[in-house]
Structures are given as structure tokens and as C-alpha cells.
Structure 1
Amino acid sequence: MEKNTTLPLTLSIIMQRRSINNRWQPFQWKPIEILPDMSDAGVRLLMADEHEQRWIFPGFAVQLFTDETPGYFLNLSSEMPCWFVMWRIEEINGAEVAVPKTISLSYDEAARQVDGGEQVDTLPLSAEVAAWLAEYTQQHFRYEGKKPRKRPSFEGGEGVQKMADAEKSSVARLVAPEKDRHGR
């Protein structure tokens, strides 16, 4: 498998808006299914009633990168490997809709998105895609071990010692009585 590669098919994401019994939020959005693209029909409303809406968003390509292999490894080693779907609320034909923006297999990428304030939800990963991801990860993942930790200044070190010595000598000059030119 090449270093940077793409899943051999494009995907569609189905987003669901479901009514909930909550006084502050009357409904909830979430991705409910990831399917291989079946047509070039584009974004569309699949179904709607008073309690639920389902929208389909086609055309998502999934790329794998060697520098994301630690994130793929974390995903695969979890209890339930998953897709990570990042989405935002946007207006489509006058309606507010949760629009998927990215789909990823990297735990680390999803964590960065959440840290950046994005909405990220998960969906279970199929056994076929998990096997493909495992093959890629096995081929390109290199454990780098723990990196040596730099000692923070409050733990000491040569630079801190120099600063402390300089501070002591300036304090000593301020505290020591001045001597006249005869040494008295």
C-alpha cells in the first residue's frame, strides 16, 4: 500500500434529525449511517415527518496519511473501532441542517477537531474497512517510544542555577553597606 492512500471507494453519510423531549433543545442531530456512494444525486432530503428527518451527503473520500498512523492505531486498538464524522449546522433551502464536513479514521485528528470546538460523532467501523485500515497501519506505523522530557524551570537545571546566582549577587550588593574609598 502506498504511503498516502485513499479508501478505494467514496462514501455517503446519512444525518438524522430526531425530536427529543427537552425544553432547551427540541431535536438532536447525529450521523446514523455511512454507505458506499450509490449515485451522483447530490445532497438531498431522504425522508421527513413531524419527529424525524434524514439527509444524505455523498462524495466523501477517505485519505490515509503516514503521520496519522498513531491515531489509526488508537482507533483500531479501542473496544469498538469507528468512523469520526465532523459536522456543522448550515442552511440548506431555508432549513438548518447538520452538514458533515470531514470523515476520518484517526483518533488523533478527531481529538484535534473536538479541541478546536467542532462537533464530532462516531459510527461503528465495518470489519472490511477495519481490516484495510489495520493493513495500512501495520505497514506504516513506527512506534517512536517516549520522548525525553525537558525539565521545566521550576525543577532546576543549569540555566535556573545561573539565574539564582545572579539574583543572589544583586541582592548582596543592595544589602551590603557601602564602604568609603578608604575601606571603612
Structure 2
Amino acid sequence: MDKELSMPLGVVVERREIDNPWQDWSWRPVAVIPGAPEVEAWTELSRDAVSVRFHAATLPVILHRQETEAYRQNLSNNPPVVYVVLEPDPQEDAVYDYKPASVTVSPYEAQDSLDSGEEIVEGVTMPDGMIAWVQAFIDAHHVDEPFKKRKRRRYATHDVEFGKPPPVSKKRNSGGDH
């Protein structure tokens, strides 16, 4: 099995009307579509009285063999999720406020995406076939690293600041000057 695998994922984003004086819509990822084709523009999938769901983009989810511990952590969740990162669209004439930026199955990578505070990062339920795909990758590449306890060096009280003499002498002047 390769050191790295990827799969195209269609990202489904929901735009929902909200009652808020500062914004008209809330945006959130709601699903992924494994093996989805590329899309040139946002494609409407469904609509109701207050929301619209779009196939907003198709992005690759990439598995790296060094990240298998993170993938194991995700699969231990009930349910496992695919993390979708939406970033603000910088174009002034953008039709949609956000655009899909990335997808990952690593909770650690998703956490890193939260650092700026501008992105929307949410987990959507991982489809069953994708769970099996991630598990097969883990089975092929995961290596448990044994815990290695470090041995501490004994502290030598006579070594002050890496063997230098103390900056102030401890001898007191017995003379009368102060």
C-alpha cells in the first residue's frame, strides 16, 4: 500500500436563513460525497423554506502514514467524522460568503485550522465505506511506538549555572565599611 492515499470528496454546504441583524445566513458543512466528480460552480442539491444545500466543491482528502495515530483517534469517536474547513471568500463580488478550503480525517489538523478564528471547521459524519478505507490504511501503516521513559540526571548541588561560580560571593567583609 502507498505511503499516501487520496480520495476526492464532494463537500455539501448548507446556507440557512437566520434572524440576525448583522448577517442574513449561517453557513455550515453538512455532508461529504466520496468519489464525487469535480464541479465548476456551486451546484444546488436541495432547497426548503429556510435553507439551501449545495455541492460546493470537490476536494481531496489525503491520508499520510505518519498520521495514523490521529486517524485512529478519529475512528474511536462515535461517529467518526470528516473535518471540513470553510474559509471566507476574499472576492468582493463573491456570491457565497464562504468557500470550502480543505477536508481531513485528522482531528489534530482540524484543530490547527481553528487557530486563525476566521474559518468554520466542523465535522460531518464519515460515510461507512470511507471508514473502512481509513481503517485499511491504518492497518497497513500504523506502528505502535513504545513508551520510552527518559532517565533523569541527578542534580549536582555544587554545579551552579553550568559550572560557573555564583555571581555573588558568600564571604562577608569583616571590615567596618558597608
TM value normalised by structure 1: 0.74
After TM superposition, give the deviation of residue 122 of structure 1 in Å.
Answer: 0.7
Q: Where do 5+ consecutive residues of structure 2 fail to align?
A: none
After TM superposition, give the deviation of residue 16 of structure 1 in Å.
Answer: 1.0
Structure 2 residue identity aligned to 1:83: V
TM value normalised by structure 2: 0.77
Aligned equivalent of 1:124 = 125
Structure 1 residue identity aligned to 2:69: P
Alpha-carbon distance in 2 for matches of 1:61, 1:11: 6
Question: For the Cα contact (< 8 Å) 1:12–1:37, is it kept in 2?
Answer: yes
Q: State the secondary structure of the residue aligned to 1:111.
A: helix
Give the total of aligned pairs: 171
What does residue range 36-47 of structure 1 map to in structure 2 within 5 Å?
36=34, 39-46=37-44
Q: State the secondary structure of the residue aligned to 1:18.
A: strand
Structure 2 residue identity aligned to 1:67: Q
Q: 1:120 to 1:41 in 2, by over 3 A?
A: closer
After TM superposition, give the deviation of residue 59 of structure 1 in Å.
Answer: 2.8
Structure 1 residue identity aligned to 2:16: R
Is 1:142 aligned to residue 143 of structure 2? yes
Structure with the largest fraction of helix: 1
Q: Where do 5+ consecutive residues of structure 1 fail to align?
A: 180-184
Instruction: Provide, for residues 6-28 of structure 1, a one-character-per-residue CA deviation record: whole Å limited to 9, x for no partner.
Output: 23xx2211111112234555431
RMSD: 3.3
The sequence identity of aligned pairs, in percent, is 23
Q: 1:164 to 1:130 in 2, by over 3 A?
A: same
Question: For the Cα contact (< 8 Å) 1:37–1:58, is it kept in 2?
Answer: no
Question: For the Cα contact (< 8 Å) 2:28–2:120, is it kept in 1?
Answer: no
Alpha-carbon distance in 1 for matches of 2:158, 2:79: 47
Question: For the Cα contact (< 8 Å) 1:68–1:108, is it kept in 2?
Answer: no
Q: State the secondary structure of the residue aligned to 1:62.
A: strand
What does residue range 1-184 of structure 1 map to in structure 2 within 5 Å?
1-7=1-7, 10-23=8-21, 25-36=23-34, 39-46=37-44, 51-90=50-89, 91=91, 93-117=93-117, 118-146=119-147, 148=149, 157-158=155-156, 161-163=159-161, 170-173=168-171, 176-177=172-173
